[in-house]
Amino acid sequence: MIKHEYISNYDLGFVNEDTVIIEVGTGPYGEASSVFFANLSKKTGASFHTIDINPDMINTLKHFMPEDLDYTFYNTDGESFFANYPLEKQISVLYLDNYDWIYKGQEGTKYIKEQLDRYKTVYNIEMNNISSTIAHLRQLLNAYKHLNTQCIIAIDDTWYDETLGTYMGKGSACVYYLLAHGWSIDDKGATQILYRGIE
pLDDT tens, residue by residue, 144-173? 999 999 999 999 999 999 999 999 999 999
Cα gap 187→199, rounded to integer Å: 15
Greater confidence (100 vs 167) lies with 167
3-state secondary structure at position 189: coil
Query: How much of the chain, in percent, has pLDDT values that exceed 90?
Result: 67
**Superfamily classification of domain 3-196:** Vaccinia Virus protein VP39 (3.40.50.150)
Q: What is the pLDDT of residue 159?
A: 94
Cα gap 2→70, rounded to integer Å: 22
Q: How confident is the model at residue 30 (pLDDT cuts 50, 70, 90)?
A: low
- Tell me the mean pLDDT in the region 89-102: 92
Cα–Cα distances in Å, from 75 out to 50, 55, 78, 115, 166?
9, 6, 10, 18, 34
pLDDT digits (tens, 9 = 90+) for 104-130: 888 889 888 888 888 889 888 888 999
Angle at 15 between CA 185 and CA 26, to 5 degrees: 75
Contact (CB, 8 A) for 15 and 93? yes
Domain ranges of the chain: 3-196
Helix (H) or strand (E) holding 151: strand 147-155
Q: Nearest to residue 101, comparing CAs of 35, 49, 172, 26?
A: 172
pLDDT at 8 over 60: yes
- Residues in the chain, total: 199
Bridging pattern class, strands 147-155 and 90-96? parallel
How many other CB atoms sit within 10 Å of the CB of residue 161? 11
Helix (H) or strand (E) holding 83: helix 78-83
pLDDT digits (tens, 9 = 90+) for 48-67: 999 999 998 888 888 888 89
